[in-house]
A = this chain, B = another copy of it.
Amino acid sequence: MEFKDFYGYVLNSSIESYDEIPYKVEKVHFKKGDIITRYGQVEDSIYYMNNGIVEMSIKSYMSEKVIDFFFNNELFCGFTSFLKQEPTDVQIVALVDSTIERIQREGLYKAYETSFAANKFGRICTEHGYIRKSDREKELLTKTAEERYAELFRTKSQYISQIPVNKVAKYLGIHPESLSRIRKKMSF
């Protein structure tokens, strides 16, 4: 799905052309390993994944933690940095060659001043981002690594083989050896 179709889907209206979207959307390509958003940068874009996988990680004192993966037809960016215009503490890296659409903040915020559709789309997408964050918080508070792996496998099985094991372990907050044990136990 292209961004224009996603935009129409969310607003429940048919969008024929990018001209009907009140801000600029541009196609960008990233190679496997490319850094899309770097630690400390002020996020100035929102990204829509056409085809690919990115990981989002966060730095803490001792180590780096993977906090999320994003797949086809998902929006992503260092969103708190984007909103507050402060340096981001997350980093976004392409895990495979990825085709992405980019919306720059300036155009989006100009549209927010006057466009009903832009605000409605922004509200609904932010609501989904909120649900995602909230689910993640609940997982961290109430689920074991094993349950969280089972959940990731259940919802994202078509992608999981493309993510290096050590990245999945970092996401679950466990050692790669523990993940191997979990995978064996679950006979995957």
A residues contacting B by CB (< 8 A) are 58, 60-61, 65, 67, 79-80, 83-84, 89, 112, 116, 119-120, 122-123, 126-127, 129-131, 133-138, 140-142, 173
State how many angstroms separate the Cβ of A86 from the closest Cβ of chain B. 11
Q: How far is the CA of A18 from the CA of B165 in the complex (A)?
A: 55
- Copies assembled: 2
CB-contact partner of A131 in B58, B60, B84, B127, under 8 A: B84
Are A142 and B80 also in contact (CB < 8 A) when A116-B116, A120-B112 are? no
Determine how close the nearest CB of chain B comes to the CB of A34; give it in whole angstroms.
24
Is the beta-carbon distance between B140 and A141 smaller than 8 angstroms? yes
Most buried by B among A89, A134, A140, A141: A134
Q: Is the CB of A80 within 8 A of B131?
A: yes
Q: Known contacts A126-B123, A131-B80; is A89 also within 8 Å of B138 by CB?
A: yes
Knowing A119-B123, A126-B126, A130-B129 touch, does A137 contact B138 (C-beta < 8 A)?
no
Whose C-beta in chain B lies nearest to the C-beta of A62? B142
Residues of B within 8 A of A119 (CB): 116, 119-120, 123
Tell me the complex Cα distance, A140–B173, Å: 12
